[in-house]
């Protein structure tokens, strides 16, 4: 096969070409720029393109004066027409070996090759590289089941627990020292957190189920938010997403505090519950809002599909009598699937009963969490142990080894 270099102005497209290719031109131009012109354009004796219309347009876009050309002198006019159609159609009949493609893409990713040159969009690449991202691991117990809190907590302030791939600290989410100790030099890939709402919320079973920091004055609560949102900002990757549960009555103050810390709220997600909350208001609350945000000026990672909406309908967990603002694991799972991949690090500075940790466990993510109340820390440890059948381990000398807790 003879290939020659010809001026682009000496060849021309077939005016009745049935193949629409404008959307592919940019990708092909990028490919030519990276890999060079490795396939010639096939033309007839009059210089009319038989095969290679997209490559020709890409060459024009790149300003190339010459392109490699093969002249098909031995084809009849009927064969030329048939070849145009067959060349496009036969490419559509092949299929990907998805398993092998994932391996090849993974090798390129490990070599830090720009996968954007391969004409897959970001969503497709995320699915290909992390196809099992949504696979849920079943536990030994109901994921929403929460143990009763102990009368005498084992955990002490400053303790750190290692729960499989997860890390829990009993400490202050506003303290830079505590948060840095929790993070241990790592930065989180995303945040899901349910800070206290500043409304003196008391659970329905025990006095110790009053949520710490839920009875602050307005000024103190705003200062409290400023502090913990700053800790969040210091502890995450530039591409991280944040999901922040909040009270409707504190919506303005919460968003202002997030802006002050350098975040931009993109959406407000509504968790629509299956039943309304108890109360004396004329309208019973049957939803809870969740801010979806990222660092201002940055683009956050997205792994979900394009059908997501801001209305999330999930039943309330029956166990939320133990923790008054407890979210169902499925709510957190939805956020994790959309904004993280397997093995990513998820941060929650207000662990409560440990729902974020359980959601991370079911999806193969790693969770680092802070909880101020020692009793809740014990609940989280026991909940994890019962769900996984794995014992938690302490990483310091402050917590005595007892039944259910290993050194």
Q: 320 or 356: which carries more pLDDT confidence?
A: 356
Q: Does residue 172 sit in the same domain as residue 83? A: no
Please report the pLDDT score of residue 403 as a whole number: 33
Residue 28 parent element (H or E): helix 25-35
Q: Does residue 236 sit in the same domain as residue 377? A: yes
Q: Does residue 48 sit in the same domain as residue 134? A: no
Q: 326 or 189: which carries more pLDDT confidence?
A: 189
392-394 vs 160-163, strand pairing mode: antiparallel
Q: What is d(CA 51, CA 27) in angstroms, rounded to the nearest whole number?
A: 17
Neighbouring CB atoms inside 10 A of 221's CB total: 22
Residue of 65, 53, 5, 9 lying closest to 28 (CA atoms): 53
Q: What is d(CA 80, CA 72) in angstroms, rounded to the nearest whole number?
A: 9
Q: 204 or 2: which carries more pLDDT confidence?
A: 2
Q: Does residue 145 sit in the same domain as residue 57? A: no
Q: What is d(CA 257, CA 366) in angstroms, rounded to the nearest whole number?
A: 27
Instruction: Write down which residue in 44, 68, 92 finishes a domain.
Output: 92
Range picked from 204-208, 305-309, 347-351, 397-401 for highest mean pLDDT: 347-351
pLDDT tens digits, 131-189: 666 678 889 999 999 999 999 999 999 999 999 999 999 999 999 999 999 999 999 99
Q: Does residue 379 sit in the same domain as residue 252? A: yes
The number of angstroms, rounded, from the C-alpha of 281 to the middle of its chain's C-alpha atoms is 37
366-371 vs 345-348, strand pairing mode: parallel
Q: What is d(CA 112, CA 127) in angstroms, rounded to the nearest whole number?
A: 18
Indicate whether 402 belongs to any domain: yes
SS3 content of the chain, % helix, strand, coil (to 5): 35, 20, 45
In contact, 375 and 208? CB cutoff 8 Å: yes
Please report the pLDDT score of residue 51 as a whole number: 93
For the chain, give the mean pLDDT: 87
Give the chain's domain count. Answer: 2
In contact, 207 and 257? CB cutoff 8 Å: no
User: Residue 49 sits in which domain range?
Assistant: 4-92
User: Considering the entire predicted model, what is its pTM?
Assistant: 0.69
Q: Does residue 209 sit in the same domain as residue 286? A: yes
Q: Does residue 216 sit in the same domain as residue 323? A: yes
């Amino acid at each position: 096969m003879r290939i020659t270099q010809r001026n682009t102005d000496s060849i021309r497209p077939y005016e009745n070409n049935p193949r629409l290719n404008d959307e592919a031109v940019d990708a092909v131009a990028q490919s030519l720029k990276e890999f060079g012109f490795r396939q010639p354009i096939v033309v007839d004796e009059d210089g009319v393109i038989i095969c290679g219309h997209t490559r020709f347009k890409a060459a024009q876009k790149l300003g190339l004066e010459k392109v490699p050309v093969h002249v098909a002198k031995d084809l009849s006019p009927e064969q030329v027409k048939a070849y145009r159609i067959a060349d496009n159609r036969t490419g559509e009949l092949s299929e990907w070996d998805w398993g092998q493609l994932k391996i090849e893409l993974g090798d390129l990713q490990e070599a830090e090759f720009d996968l954007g040159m391969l004409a897959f969009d970001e969503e497709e690449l995320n699915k290909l590289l992390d196809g099992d991202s949504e696979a849920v691991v079943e536990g030994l117990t109901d994921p929403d089941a929460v143990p009763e809190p102990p009368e005498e907590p084992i955990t002490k302030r400053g303790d750190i627990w290692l729960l499989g791939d997860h890390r829990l600290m009993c400490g202050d989410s506003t303290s830079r020292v505590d948060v840095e100790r929790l993070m241990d030099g790592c930065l989180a890939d995303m945040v899901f957190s349910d800070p206290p709402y500043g409304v003196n919320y008391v659970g329905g079973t025990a006095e110790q189920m009053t949520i710490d920091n839920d009875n602050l004055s307005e000024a103190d609560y705003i200062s409290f938010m400023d502090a913990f949102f700053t800790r969040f900002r210091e502890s995450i990757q530039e591409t991280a997403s944040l999901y922040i549960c909040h009270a409707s009555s504190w919506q303005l103050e919460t968003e202002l505090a997030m802006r002050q810390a350098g975040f931009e709220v993109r959406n407000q997600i509504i968790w629509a519950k299956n039943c309304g909350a108890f109360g004396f208001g004329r309208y019973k609350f049957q939803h809870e809002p969740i801010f979806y945000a990222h660092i201002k000026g940055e683009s956050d990672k997205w792994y979900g599909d394009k059908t997501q909406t801001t209305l999330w309908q999930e039943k309330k967990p029956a166990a939320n009598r133990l923790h008054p603002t407890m979210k169902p694991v499925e709510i957190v799972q939805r956020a994790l699937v959309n904004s993280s991949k397997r093995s990513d690090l998820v941060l929650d500075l207000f662990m409560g009963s440990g729902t974020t940790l359980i959601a991370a466990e079911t999806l193969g993510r790693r969770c680092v969490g802070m909880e101020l109340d020692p009793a809740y820390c014990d609940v989280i440890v026991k909940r994890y142990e019962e769900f996984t059948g794995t014992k938690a381990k302490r990483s310091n000398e402050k917590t005595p080894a007892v039944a259910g807790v290993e050194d």
